[in-house]
Structure 1
Amino acid sequence: MRPVKIVDLFAGPGGLDVAAEKLGIPTVGIEWDESACATRNAAGLTTVHGDVRSYGPANFREADVLAGGPPCQTFTVAGTGVGRRALDDVLRFVKRMVAREDREQIKNDLGNLKDERTGLVLEPLRWALEAIDERRTPYRAIVLEQVPAVLPVWEAYAEALRSEGYSVDCGILQTEAFGVPQTRRRATLVARLGDEKVALPSPTHRIYRKGVPRESGDPSLAPWRTMADVINRPSPFIVISNYGTGGDPKARGRRKSSEPSATVTGKISRNRIVAMDHSELPRFSLSEAGRLQTFPIDYPWSGRDVGQQIGNAVPPRLAMHVLCAAFDWDPPSEAALQSLDHWQSRSGHESAGRDGRDESAIEEAACV
């Protein structure tokens, strides 16, 4: 399968798009956040600045692959928990959408959820079904990722997509198992049109276990990567987390530079960094924080609250593995993975306005 173009919903600063572009696949991303769009523009990524709910497959006729990572705040443990409490409602909406109930009624009912972001997790399914019903050209592949709490939604998606002729696999992937120097868990779904079996990518690296040497474990897998592997600092260091562990806010998590980073969040700038003698060191720069997510060292972070942009992004290295699995390609080559170290902006791509309907980015993406 050779994709033509990916339309990326809730595209953020470009984690999946960076991976796709490095694999030679054009992308167009839809993103609401102005600062994330500023980063995307600086990186030369084709971008529509707008609300995913205002668009559909008909606006992006050339795209034959759907990707998305809807906002996760209401589903995360650290968030309000509205998404978890509304999970049963969300699953019922999935069944209603697959049954092709009246779309306007579903839209109105989604508007009655306590937090509208909860309903956004259903947008990729709306796009997938509209591509079948209205465009009559189903997406050839679908790639979705979210926080682990959303896995039941992806499992409901899997059942729905299988009924529409897709092969689907979904589950929890651990980022360090794919060479990301960070421990992070993501609920991931891959789907491919047709009967040929699709599967999530197989790990290439060992899982991190605190106190277990990186050289131990399955000899067929590479050792997990460390912060020192991607951050160029002259001496070893220790990262002291902004978060407590075990329910004790005073028990700050600690990771040495010879270990993977803990999960990168939007509060990464609050993490202290100390030398081995406990003297204070400069905190992570934006470039360093991005490197822990496997963004290029020279990625042009722009706009406000860049830490949040970085923390919310899918790691490009993980995305590269997931995309290759979705397309039934061999795992990414070492050359492709190493290409993530640096970024070269592509010229000639402009961002659309907030509704974007008559601007160059959506015209190029739609090819109408």
Structure 2
Amino acid sequence: MTSRQQELDFGERPHLVDLFAGPGGLDVAAHWLGIVADGVEWDAGACATRRAAGLRTHQADVRDLGPEDFPAATILTGGPPCQTYTVAGGGAGRRALDQVLGFVKRMAAGEDVRSELKTLEDERTALVLEPLRWALRANHLGRPYRTVVLEQVPAVLPVWEAVEEALEGIGYKTTSGILHTEAYGVPQTRRRAILIARFGATEKPRLPKATHRRFRRGSAPRAGADDLPLWVTMGEALDRTDDFVVVSNYGTGGDPKARGRRHSDEPAATVTGKVSRNRLETPDGKNLARLDPWDAGRLQTFPRDYPWSGKDVSQQVGNAIPPRLAAHVLATALGLVIDPRRLDDAVRGTWQDFDESRPVATEGADTGRDVD
């Protein structure tokens, strides 16, 4: 029996618990891969979307639950709220980074730091530590998660590196790094800090290999530079043949008045919770109808009929991990091989019509890459 087969019994459907599950970005990917997913999410709007999509949903605060509440789960995933760590946010998380790193070390040493977390400037900053609490608790119960997958904004990478050290201390092999979404077929430039950990593995895990070229504005890719196809454009993702320009709600280059602009033959800029405020124009400056939630969802690689529901739908869309990226990360973490055509069909097809009997990945050799 190989180390990969020891980690995952392919005779049964793997089962994960997803913390801070949002409207279902990672859970959609799990569905495509044939994985059972229980999502924990407290936001009422996101839960409304999840329930409309038929996803297993537990509306609760992850701080009030633990591994004992999901005894069947052997995979732990999570994307904690990023507002205090993002450049667009208030920066409380970045200011508290040293404190957070100190808490990681103390938690790994067995200390209960929960009462001290309340002293942080913004309580959301401490939520990034919840996946570690769950992993340590599961190990204490004698049922360590076989696989852990975490994602966040790039500013959280130092936290993930500290979490790596904590997990390696209890028997995991780990890796972390920054992934660019357009390099995985997402029609959007967005960077995510990813951590993958495997319990009892003999080798260090890898991050998924890129499937598409990185987007570099103003520099055409060299012919024959590699075997990868170009990035996916907004026009392709939205099935639009007309030329259009998306004008960002945000400034660029340090100038709040200089709005970022992306053409329809380019990937979108990062889809945020303010995506509904972006303007659409023709190349000669005439106004077009703005993106609706379903358009924004498709730029995130949600199926075109995904049932967005509840309040603050734009925020739900912007907060989610792109399902296509999540599928590549999960597949690599679990030693699965994705069929690119099946994944394309899932992304471009409808949520209701996906054939669960034909998941987009099968058991196979690890196709990931070493961390740069």
Q: Calculate the TM-score normalised by the size of structure 1.
A: 0.90
Give the aligned partner of residue 122 of structure 1. 129
Distance 1:77 1:274 in 2: 27
| 1:276–1:172 Cα change, 3 Å | same
Give the aligned partner of residue 360 of structure 2. none
Name which of 76, 83, 88 aligns with 2:86. Answer: 76
**Highest RCO, 1 vs 2 (Cα 8 Å, sep ≥ 6):** 1
Runs of 4+ in structure 1 over 4 Å off: 214-217
The CA deviation string for residues 102-154 of structure 1, in whole angstroms up to 9 with x for no partner, is: x2xx11111111111011000000000000102x1110100000000000000
The 3-state SS of whatever aligns with 2:315 is helix
The CA deviation string for residues 19-41 of structure 1, in whole angstroms up to 9 with x for no partner, is: 00011001010001000000000
The 3-state SS of whatever aligns with 1:208 is coil
Give the aligned partner of residue 287 of structure 2. 280
The CA deviation string for residues 147-206 of structure 1, in whole angstroms up to 9 with x for no partner, is: 000000000011111111111110000000000000000000011112233111011111
Report the count of equivalent residues: 342
| 1:127–1:337 Cα change, 3 Å | farther
Distance 1:215 1:303 in 2: 45
- Please list every run of 5 or more consecutive structure 2 residues that lacks an aligned counterpart in the other structure: 1-7, 355-372
Name which of 110, 115, 120 aligns with 1:108. Answer: 115
Name which of 65, 77, 84 aligns with 1:67. Answer: 77
CA contact (8 A) 2:153 2:193 kept: yes
Q: CA deviation at 1:239?
A: 0.6
Q: CA deviation at 1:301?
A: 0.2
Q: Does 1:52 align with 2:62?
A: yes
The 3-state SS of whatever aligns with 2:336 is coil
The 3-state SS of whatever aligns with 2:291 is coil
Give the aligned partner of residue 180 of structure 1. 186
Identity of aligned residues (%): 60
CA contact (8 A) 2:234 2:264 kept: yes
Name which of 332, 335, 343 aligns with 2:351. Answer: 343
The 3-state SS of whatever aligns with 1:317 is helix
- Please list every run of 5 or more consecutive structure 1 residues that lacks an aligned counterpart in the other structure: 347-368
Q: CA deviation at 1:234?
A: 4.3
Q: Does 1:34 align with 2:15?
A: no
Give the aligned partner of residue 202 of structure 1. 209
Q: CA deviation at 1:247?
A: 1.3
The 3-state SS of whatever aligns with 1:150 is helix
The CA deviation string for residues 267-314 of structure 1, in whole angstroms up to 9 with x for no partner, is: 111111011221110000111100000000000000111000000000
Distance 2:204 2:256 in 1: 46
Q: Say what the alpha-carbon RMSD is for the aligned residues.
A: 1.4
Opposite residue 192 of structure 1, the aligned amino acid is: R
Distance 1:156 1:52 in 2: 21
Distance 1:201 1:32 in 2: 30
Q: CA deviation at 1:224?
A: 0.7
Q: Calculate the TM-score normalised by the size of structure 2.
A: 0.89
Opposite residue 158 of structure 1, the aligned amino acid is: E
